[in-house]
Structure formats: C-alpha cells, structure tokens
Structure 1
C-alpha cells in the first residue's frame, strides 16, 4: 500500500509541475469565449455574428479596426503565402462562387476560427475538403509588436 501511495503521489506531483508555464494567447482566450455564438446575417455582436462581423469584433477587442465585409477585409494588411500563415492572419474563401465571400482567423496548426452559416462560431481545419477547395488568400494585419502581444502564448502570471 505504501508503494502504491508513493506512486500516486509521484504522478500527481509530476503532472502538477509539468504543466505549462505558458497561458493561452490573448487571441485564443478571446476566441474561446466566442465559440458557439450563433450565426446571424450582418451580425457584429455576441448575440450573433456573420463571418466578417466576427473577425471585426475579435480584432476590435485589440483596438484594430476592420471593415464589415470579407471582400473589404481582404484588402487590409499585407499578403501572406499559405505556407507562411501564423496565428492572427485573416484567411479568405470563395464560398459563393462569386469571389471572396468568407473570412476567418488563422489559429495555427492548420486551424482557423470563423462564423459558419449553419454552426455559428467554430474552429475548422484548412484541409477540410470544403475549405481547401475554396481557399483564396490570406492577409496579415498584425505587425510584429501586435503579433507578439496578441497571438503568442503568454507566460503565466
């Protein structure tokens, strides 16, 4: 019994001390609070978002102004190659067959967060067939300072 108790205590201590000294980034924390928010056409509040209203809302939390239109957002910032995406980049899709019609925020690891018509605010994988076939481009609206402050994991206080 003593060996068992020591083993359990050792595992608990190992888990306690091996937890990350880093917390989620401010961007991740903001997005996490909004997951599951309903989709609403032209929505720009936590009562409901359309895709560009969602990205506009998230970036506004960090004092970054974006227009309320995916096609208008697609002209902001600087172009970025798909292979060079980093957290906080805007990713654009042609879901209507008529040019850029959907936007999301890249989170890293091939994931992006967006407000989808049927599901509201969700995280999707860029390689999902639907999005992979409709990807158009990405834009970087966060400079180095803002990227480090908003999109990088922060040390725990």
Structure 2
C-alpha cells in the first residue's frame, strides 16, 4: 500500500484530482485503496468513518490519519508510511502547496489539527 501511495510523490495538488496530472488528499487514498479492490468514499470526512478508529499510541504503518485544517470538520487525510518514534510519525498526503509529500504528523502544526486515525480492514 505504501509503495502505491509513494508512486504519487511529487504529483501536484489539484482539488478533486485523482490522477498523475493532479490529485488531492482524498483522491490519493481512493486511488491507493482501489488497487486492493476497496472503494473508499471520495471525501476525507467520510473516509475517516470507513474503518475502525484507533488511538495515536497504537498507530502503525498503513493506518489512515485525518486532520481538521480549516475548523472542526475533517478535511485532510493521509497514510502513515513510517513510525520512527512517538515524536516522529511520517505520513504521505497531498499538500496544497507542495503536492504529494511525506511529513511528520507529530509537528506542532499537524498535532494541533489532528482529528482521528483508523486502521484499514482489507476484508471490507
């Protein structure tokens, strides 16, 4: 799953986008899971409710993470690509300014906007 998501690294951000010409955060998740025959909802707040929720101390590679960037509604999503320590949890997402990149979700910026996490169920 991580390999598929990383294949989009560097693709520019485009709202509503879902291909190599431009992609948004929920499109990145949709395209990644489509490779496994799983049809995720197209918007991030619905994606956040699709799989069972987990707590941050239990987070691991492959988990989905969701953020409220502009207020209280979940409007940003990513996939955890590496858990290096409790202070360094790397996730891939579609940044509006930098396209598809990996960031540490334990920075002050992302921690302040964290909304939830869930663990994919590939039997769904």
- Normalising by structure 1, what TM-score? 0.71
Root-mean-square deviation (Å): 1.6
Q: Are 2:23 and 1:44 aligned?
A: no
Q: Secondary structure at the match of 1:59?
A: helix
Q: Secondary structure at the match of 1:34?
A: coil
Partners in 1 of 2:47 and 2:121 — Cα distance?
13
Report the number of matched residues: 119
Question: Unmatched 5+ residue regions in structure 2?
Answer: 84-88
Aligned mate of 1:112, from 91, 95, 105: 91
Q: Secondary structure at the match of 2:109?
A: helix
Partner of 2:33: 59
Larger-Rg structure: 1
Partners in 1 of 2:44 and 2:106 — Cα distance?
20
Q: In the alignment, is the contact (CA less than 8 A) between 1:86 and 1:108 conserved in 2?
A: yes
1:1-157 equivalences under 5 Å are 27-109=1-83, 110-143=89-122
Runs of 4+ residues over 2 Å off in structure 1: none
Q: Secondary structure at the match of 2:102?
A: strand
- In proportion to residue count, which structure has more strand? 2
- In proportion to residue count, which structure has more helix? 1
Q: Secondary structure at the match of 2:97?
A: coil
Post-superposition offset of 1:65? 1.2
Partners in 2 of 1:111 and 1:73 — Cα distance?
19
Post-superposition offset of 1:81? 0.6
Question: Unmatched 5+ residue regions in structure 1?
Answer: 1-26, 147-157
